[in-house]
């Protein structure tokens, strides 16, 4: 008997996971993995943050913890602390009772939860979501998956290897009023290029004039600059300007809780009543998809965020990660400069966060993989966390070769 699924086409492999699999299968001792978006130590190993280790032990010894279901919208202390972390303790949105939240399945789940709500309740029917060109691949998949059309706004300028602010603002001005714009508050993925405070003001001016809806996706608060407050600047500025918005938060990177899927969707509404209405609709939708979120990761985050001593230790851990990545940017820049590699490479140190958009072309990336066993995405994005003092010179020489000869 033929299967009822006989005609279903196979889906392509996920690019990042396929890249990781190819790296693991490679037996060359010099191989380098610059594809995965996860922190690595100087030894190239995953790092369990010391403060997370400490939180683990506290939780294990807590006889009052159980494995009962969380509420549909998640762990209350986690949600409250997450909102405070991104908006700031003195946020007027919190003080006025119009900041809400929903615990989600990491940042991916938070983007999905917000997108699903907008697909059902956003009053501008048919409004498109504009994503940066380029952006994290899942952004398009998530919004298209809930039926929201996806368009792109200019972001990366290949000539300057920086922000195309003029193109970005022009797109915002020409987009139909009430469009949705997905913005990266810090450590833009994949370019590592962030607007300056003055540029954020210009972006906010156009967003306000056009009545666009702001959807921030923040996966790197504290991980980019090492400062939680500095990395939240754009979000807090938009709140001060009076915008309604969604903010997807992930704790995968800044807590190293990649597999625990701890995330939050922060909601800033016009009034407390509207905030309550949004939360009620998200709860209804979440009940039908995951019923309620998992407890472990949110308990770790909540424990740290709500304890002054642990919070201070977490800030130290964040500085360790951020500073190592910054030092690898400087080391790569110095190696390329020393080699006299053609082109300008200052963008390596000007960019911020886990990723750098090198400007390498797809054919050059192919040579890096096949000749040098260096794994990175075809668009030339590298994870700076994959570099260390033992492989940065090797990688620089490989780049120098493909730039000169390919």
Return d(Cα 401, Cα 403) in angstroms, integer.
6
Which pLDDT belongs to residue 137? 87
What average pLDDT does the segment 363-389 reach? 94
Cα angle 136-105-218, degrees, rounded to a multiple of 5 = 45
| 129-133 and 150-154 beta bridge pairing | parallel
Tokens of 167: 């193109």
What average pLDDT does the segment 344-360 reach? 91
Tokens of 20: 């990781």
Which pLDDT belongs to residue 260? 95
Owning domain of residue 296 = 76-306
Backbone CA torsion sign across 225, 83, 108, 185? negative
Q: What letter would DSSP give residue 384? A: G
Instruction: Evaluate whether residue 70 is within a structural domain.
Output: no
Burial of 122 (0-12, 13-18, 19+ CB in 10 A): middle
Tokens of 50: 């010391």
What average pLDDT does the segment 72-79 reach? 97
Return d(Cα 235, Cα 341) in angstroms, integer.
38
Instruction: Evaluate whether residue 233 is within a structural domain.
Output: yes
Whether residues 174 and 259 share a domain: the answer is: yes
What average pLDDT does the segment 191-204 reach? 96
Predicted confidence (pLDDT) per residue in 300-321, tens digit? 999 999 999 999 999 999 999 9
Instruction: Evaluate whether residue 81 is within a structural domain.
Output: yes
Whether residues 288 and 345 share a domain: the answer is: no
Last residue of a domain, one of 252, 271, 306: 306
Tokens of 214: 């702001």
Q: Cite the active site residues.
A: 136, 217, 253
Q: What letter would DSSP give residue 399? A: H
φ/ψ of 106, rounded to 5, equals 60, -165
Instruction: Evaluate whether residue 60 is within a structural domain.
Output: no
Which pLDDT belongs to residue 226? 86
Whether residues 138 and 227 share a domain: the answer is: yes
CATH number of residue 81's parent domain: 3.40.640.10
Residues whose CB falls within 8 Å of the CB of residue 91, separated by 6 or more in sequence, listed in order: 84, 99, 236, 239
Which pLDDT belongs to residue 225? 87
Whether residues 325 and 271 share a domain: the answer is: no
Whether residues 239 and 364 share a domain: the answer is: no
Instruction: Evaluate whether residue 149 is within a structural domain.
Output: yes
Tally of structural domains, the chain? 2
CATH number of residue 358's parent domain: 3.90.1150.10
Arithmetic mean of pLDDT over the chain: 95
Which pLDDT belongs to residue 167? 98
Cβ neighbour number for residue 66 with a 10 Å cutoff: 7
Tokens of 245: 């918005």
Return d(Cα 368, Cα 164) in angstroms, integer.
28
Instruction: Evaluate whether residue 251 is within a structural domain.
Output: yes
301 contacts 78 by C-beta, under 8 angstroms: yes
Q: Is residue 190 reached through a cis peptide bond, with omega within 30 degrees of 0 on the bond before it?
A: yes
Higher-confidence position of 38 and 102: 102
- What CA–CA distances, in Å, run from 311 to 28, 54, 77, 110, 339? 41, 12, 15, 23, 42
pTM score of the predicted model: 0.94
Tokens of 18: 């396929």
Which pLDDT belongs to residue 116? 98
Whether residues 28 and 149 share a domain: the answer is: no
Whether residues 217 and 353 share a domain: the answer is: no
pLDDT category of residue 165 using cuts at 50, 70 and 90: very high
Which pLDDT belongs to residue 255? 95
What average pLDDT does the segment 153-160 reach? 93
Last residue of a domain, one of 272, 306, 340: 306
| 262-268 and 245-250 beta bridge pairing | antiparallel
Last residue of a domain, one of 306, 339, 371: 306
């Amino acid at each position: 008997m033929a299967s009822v699924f006989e005609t279903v086409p196979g889906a392509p492999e996920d690019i990042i996971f396929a890249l990781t699999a190819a790296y693991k299968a490679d037996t060359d001792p010099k191989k380098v993995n610059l594809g995965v978006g996860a922190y690595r130590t100087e030894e190239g190993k995953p790092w369990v943050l010391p403060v997370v280790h400490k939180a683990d032990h506290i939780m294990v010894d807590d006889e009052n913890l159980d494995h009962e279901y969380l509420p549909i919208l998640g762990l209350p202390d986690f949600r409250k602390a997450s909102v405070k972390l991104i908006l700031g303790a003195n946020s007027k949105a919190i003080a006025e009772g119009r900041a809400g939240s929903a615990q989600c399945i990491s940042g991916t789940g938070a983007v999905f939860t917000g997108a699903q709500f907008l697909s059902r309740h956003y009053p501008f029917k048919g409004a498109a979501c504009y994503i940066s060109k380029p952006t994290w691949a899942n952004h398009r998949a998530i919004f298209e998956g809930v039926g929201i059309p996806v368009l792109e706004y200019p972001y990366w300028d290949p000539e300057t290897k920086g922000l195309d602010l003029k193109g970005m603002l022009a797109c915002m001005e020409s987009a139909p009023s009430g469009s949705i714009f997905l913005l990266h508050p810090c450590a833009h993925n994949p370019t590592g290029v962030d607007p300056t405070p003055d540029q954020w003001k210009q972006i906010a001016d156009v967003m306000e004039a056009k009545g666009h809806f702001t959807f921030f996706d923040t996966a790197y608060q504290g991980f980019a600059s090492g400062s939680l407050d500095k990395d939240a600047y754009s979000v807090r500025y938009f709140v001060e300007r009076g915008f309604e918005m969604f903010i997807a938060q992930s704790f995968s990177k800044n807590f190293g809780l990649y597999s625990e899927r701890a995330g939050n969707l922060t909601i800033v509404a016009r009034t407390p009543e509207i905030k309550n209405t949004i939360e009620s609709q998200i709860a209804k939708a979440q009940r039908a998809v995951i019923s309620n979120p998992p407890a472990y990761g949110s308990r770790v985050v909540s424990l740290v965020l709500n304890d002054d001593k642990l919070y201070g230790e977490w800030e130290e851990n964040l500085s360790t990660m951020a500073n190592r990545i910054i030092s690898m940017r400087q080391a790569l820049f110095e190696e390329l400069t020393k080699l006299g590699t053609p082109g300008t490479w200052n963008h390596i140190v000007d960019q911020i966060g886990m990723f750098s958009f090198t400007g390498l072309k797809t054919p050059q990336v192919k040579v890096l993989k096949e000749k040098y066993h260096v794994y990175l995405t075809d668009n030339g994005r590298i994870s700076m966390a994959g570099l260390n003092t033992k492989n940065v010179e090797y990688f620089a020489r490989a780049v120098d070769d493909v730039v000169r000869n390919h």
